[in-house]
Amino acid sequence: MNKRIAILTGGGDCPGLNAVIRGVVKSATLRGWDVVGIEDGFEGFLHAEKCRPLTWDDVRGILPRGGTILGTSNRGNPFAFPIVREGKVEVVDVTEEILSRIACLDIDGLIVVGGDGSLKIALELMGRGIPIVGVPKTIDNDLMETDVTFGYNTAVETATDALDKLHSTAESHHRVMVLEVMGRYAGWIALESGIAGGADVILIPEIPYDIEAICESLRVRKRRGSRFSLVVAAEGAFPRGGGRIVRHAGTAGTLERLGGVGELIAHEIGSRLDVETRVTVLGHLQRGGSPSTFDRCLGSRFGVKAVEMVERGEFGHMACLRGTKILSVSIEEAVRAPHLVDPDGDMVRHAESLGIMLGR
Ligand code: F6P
């Protein structure tokens, strides 16, 4: 029987979103189904004109494009939705409006492409009777139950490329170059790009750092003849006994924004050692650009899988990667806790065996 499905992309954008949208539209269209694209995340349900048909023509040529053709938002939580009333921001519950729009659209399934935040909203909407299938997205790679999220690989490539470029200035000027990368409370981007980019120090939120131990490792490097060093710091990294640097506190419906630890570390190193330091904050460059081959392929396969899951009625589940297989797991399990780097795990051990200082 022909079905009608909807798809939305929620939370921060990341490379590979368009590959998922294309995968969904192509495999659904080949089944004879109709697809409705919801613009700007869950918020799109509040506006009829933001719920539009998506056809084969709409997804032509989008595979190499970064971002999402549907738009996204990380302020669109229907249960805590910010609106401006008489010049003041108020947080209201718009779930009923969203549920009635979904009823009007007469869909057999909604595909939510999102990270932890969007998938938690999806679970709540499931509880209100909406048949939802999830697709795990985030450059932070902090979702459980999947080997990796799409978008992460491209972000790591970007961070590694930045380290390669910083290497030349570090070497030429005999400086300590600090690169601050994203990842929120998880250190995956810092750890993997740090190993790949030949970092001397990698600081991740999962291992609170000891600044004196870091400086001592840099002194040892100098005594051994290395006149420069590369430090990668995850934005969520923080000193032992201290707290992480929050640039903007979160409000109802928005998350806190991290950033600034790179500057702090460079300052601490510069004041303890006789060395020049410089900081680069990679920021949203990690979220942009054309997706890597890996993310194009993973995103496309996730899109196809999500359509298969709607067909089989596997609602409340999310597509995931296990080894080389694309499987389906419960969304509840995936968002139960963040997927963090294990401080005693293989990846950290291997980094330390390479002589990289992990801040401890
Ligand atoms: O979750 C993805 C992410 O890029 C984090 O790594 C980062 O902390 C955050 O989003 C930045 O969010 P925004 O785009 O709202 O500044």
Across 249-273, average pLDDT: 93
Across 289-308, average pLDDT: 98
Q: pLDDT-derived band of residue 251, with 50, 70 and 90 as boundaries?
A: confident
User: Is 250 in the same domain as 302?
Assistant: no
The number of the ligand 1 atom at minimal distance from the alpha carbon of 235 is 8
Q: What is the pLDDT of residue 2?
A: 86
Helix (H, G, I), strand (E, B) or coil at 295: helix
User: Residue 165 sits in a domain of what CATH number?
Assistant: 3.40.50.460
User: Is 60 in the same domain as 75?
Assistant: yes
The C-alpha atoms of residue 73 and residue 291 are separated, in whole angstroms, by: 20
The number of the ligand 1 atom at minimal distance from the alpha carbon of 115 is 1
Q: What is the pLDDT of residue 253?
A: 72
The number of the ligand 1 atom at minimal distance from the alpha carbon of 287 is 4
The C-alpha atoms of residue 122 and residue 170 are separated, in whole angstroms, by: 46
The tokens for 356 are: 């990289």
Q: Is residue 344 part of a domain?
A: no
Task: Give 131 Cα–ligand 1 centroid separation in angstroms.
Answer: 28
Across 111-138, average pLDDT: 97
Task: Give 284 Cα–ligand 1 centroid separation in angstroms.
Answer: 8
The C-alpha atoms of residue 15 and residue 54 are separated, in whole angstroms, by: 20
The tokens for 301 are: 């396969």
Task: Give 258 Cα–ligand 1 centroid separation in angstroms.
Answer: 8
Average pLDDT value over all residues in the chain: 96
Which amino acid residue places its CA nearest to atom 13 of ligand 1?
Answer: 12
pLDDT in tens, 317-337: 999 999 999 999 999 999 999
Strand stretches in the chain, DSSP E: 4-9, 34-38, 51-53, 81-85, 88-92, 109-114, 132-136, 176-181, 201-203, 229-234, 246-248, 257-258, 277-281, 317-322, 325-330
User: Is 11 in the same domain as 92?
Assistant: yes
Q: How many CB atoms lie within 10 A of CB 311?
A: 17
Q: pLDDT-derived band of residue 97, with 50, 70 and 90 as boundaries?
A: very high
User: Is 131 in the same domain as 163?
Assistant: no
Q: Which residue carries 């410089």 as its tokens? A: 278
Across 103-110, average pLDDT: 97
User: Is 196 in the same domain as 119?
Assistant: no
The tokens for 75 are: 């302020």
Given a cut of 90, whether residue 89 has pLDDT beyond it is no
Question: Would you call 140 a catalytic residue per the annotation?
Answer: yes
User: Which is nearest to 46 in space by CA: 96, 97, 109, 8?
Assistant: 97
Q: What is the pLDDT of residue 324?
A: 98
User: Is 19 in the same domain as 111?
Assistant: yes
Active-site position among 116, 140, 200, 295: 140
Q: pLDDT-derived band of residue 135, with 50, 70 and 90 as boundaries?
A: very high
CA distances from 92 to 74, 96, 232, 315 (A): 16, 11, 40, 27
* Ligand 1 shell residues, CB under 6 Å: 12, 74, 138-140, 182-184, 235, 257-258, 287
Q: In 224-315, which residue ranges form alpha helices assigned H by DSSP?
A: 261-272, 293-312
Structural domain containing residue 110? 4-150+291-334
Q: Is residue 137 part of a domain?
A: yes
Q: pLDDT-derived band of residue 85, with 50, 70 and 90 as boundaries?
A: confident
Parallel/antiparallel/unpaired status of strands 132-136 and 317-322: parallel
Those residues with Cβ within 8 angstroms of residue 25's Cβ, 6 or more apart along the chain or in another chain: 7, 35, 54, 55, 56, 58, 59, 303
User: Is 302 in the same domain as 282?
Assistant: no
Q: Is residue 170 part of a domain?
A: yes
Parallel/antiparallel/unpaired status of strands 246-248 and 257-258: antiparallel
Task: Give 277 Cα–ligand 1 centroid separation in angstroms.
Answer: 26
Q: What is the count of structural domains for the chain?
A: 2
Question: How many CA atoms are closer than 13 Å to the CA of 80, on its beta-carbon side?
Answer: 13
Which amino acid residue places its CA nearest to atom 16 of ligand 1?
Answer: 257
Task: Give 253 Cα–ligand 1 centroid separation in angstroms.
Answer: 14
User: Is 18 in the same domain as 144?
Assistant: yes
At residue 72, what is the residue type? T
Q: What is the pLDDT of residue 265?
A: 98
**Burial call 30-48: b when 16+ CB within 10 Å, e when fewer:** eeebbbbbbbbbbbbbbee
Task: Give 343 Cα–ligand 1 centroid separation in angstroms.
Answer: 23
Given a cut of 80, whether residue 252 has pLDDT beyond it is no
Q: Is residue 353 part of a domain?
A: no
For the range 272-275, what are the long-range contacts, defined as Cβ-Cβ under 8 Å and sequence gap of 24 or more?
A: 272/211, 272/212, 272/215, 273/176, 273/215, 273/218, 273/219, 275/174, 275/175, 275/176, 275/218, 275/222
User: Which is nearest to 319 in space by CA: 337, 292, 300?
Assistant: 300
**For ligand 1, mutation pick of 184, 191, 285 (most atoms within 8 Å of CB):** 184
Parallel/antiparallel/unpaired status of strands 176-181 and 4-9: unpaired
The number of the ligand 1 atom at minimal distance from the alpha carbon of 189 is 6
**For ligand 1, mutation pick of 139, 152, 154, 285 (most atoms within 8 Å of CB):** 139
Across 59-82, average pLDDT: 93
Which amino acid residue places its CA nearest to atom 14 of ligand 1?
Answer: 12
Q: How large is the C-alpha radius of gyration of the chain? A: 22
Query: Percent of the chain, pLDDT > 70?
Result: 100
Which amino acid residue places its CA nearest to atom 15 of ligand 1?
Answer: 12
Q: Which residue carries 């890597």 as its tokens? A: 292
pLDDT in tens, 147-205: 999 999 999 999 999 999 999 999 999 999 999 999 999 999 999 999 999 999 999 99
Phi, psi of 150, rounded to the nearest 5 degrees: -80, 150
Parallel/antiparallel/unpaired status of strands 317-322 and 325-330: antiparallel
DSSP for 143-170 reads -TTSS--BTHHHHHHHHHHHHHHHHHHH
Q: Is residue 265 part of a domain?
A: yes
